[in-house]
Amino acid sequence: MDTTPGAKSSSEKLRELSLFPRSSGKPEPSSEGPGEAITPAAAGISLARHRLDEKRLTFSEVPIGTLFGQLFDEMNELVRKEVDLARAEIRSNVEDGVRMVKWFSIAGLCAGSAMTLLLIALVFALAEKVPGWAAALILAGILLAVGLIASLIAWRGRIRNVLAATQRSLKGNMQWKHEI
């Protein structure tokens, strides 16, 4: 948005083009000099809608082409706004996800460090009953077995067909397209 002094907002430009009703029935004075007229495209509106508003025709007097032009312009604007909303929502979700990953990383680092210290304490406790190297070896074997079991469980639950539902839907759409 232009913040220079004397610059007009898009709503002010639209009011000048008579798209929005003015608060009073009198036209607002324009600060633009001669030769600085705002075109409908510069204000972000369609030429069909601008011409329709200039003439102030009733609905039954408006040519069908103008109505369709206005309809398509409004549909384009709606799609554009929906895409902008989706982009903003995705950006927000990604930012929230990144923030979550950062905090989980810190939590994981702290938990890993605490687990390491607990394992060292367990080795020292076992070292009173058996030699230190044997205590460390016993604990390492137990941890290796737990890790192996966890990895086998994870491997069994892996994704075998990436985007399976999407692939089925696309195949169905392609078959439907070929039937037409």
Query: For 14-60, what is each residue's pLDDT tens digit?
Result: 444 443 344 444 444 444 444 445 555 555 555 555 555 555 667 77
Residues in the chain: 180
Amino acid at 141: G
Considering the domain architecture, whether residues 149 and 108 belong to the same structural domain is answered as: no
pLDDT in tens, 11-21: 454 444 443 34
Together in a domain, 77 and 100: yes
Note whether 146 and 123 are same-domain residues.
Answer: no
Q: Is the pTM of this model over 0.75?
A: no
Distances 145 to 80, 124, 151, 152 between C-alpha atoms, Å: 55, 21, 10, 11
Token representation of residue 20 = 């929005």
Q: Count up the domains in the chain and report the number.
A: 2
Q: C-alpha dihedral over 48, 70, 38, 81, to 10 degrees?
A: -160
95 and 139 both lie in a single domain: no
Judge if 124 and 135 occupy the same domain.
Answer: no
Q: How far apart are CA 9 and CA 4, in angstroms?
A: 11
* Pair (111, 136) in one structural domain: no
Cβ neighbourhood burial of 51 (10 Å; 0-12, 13-18, 19+): middle
Residue 57 domain-assigned (yes or no): no
Q: Are 126 and 139 in contact (CB under 8 A)?
A: yes
Report yes or no on 110 lying in a domain: yes
Same domain for 110 and 87:
yes
Q: Please give the average per-residue pLDDT across 67-81, as a whole number.
A: 90
Instruction: From residue 17, give the alpha-carbon distance in Å to each of 20, 30, 42, 64.
Output: 8, 11, 11, 22
83 part of a folded domain: yes
The verdict on residue 174 lying in a domain is yes
Residue type, 156: R
Residue 163's pLDDT band (boundaries 50, 70, 90)? confident
Residues 74 and 112 reside in one and the same domain: yes
In a domain, 150, yes or no: yes
Q: What is the Cα–Cα distance from 73 to 80, expressed in whole angstroms?
A: 10
* Range of the structural domain that residue 161 is part of: 131-180
For residues 69 and 122, membership in a common domain is answered with yes
72 within a domain of the structure (yes/no): yes
176 and 140 fall within a common domain: yes
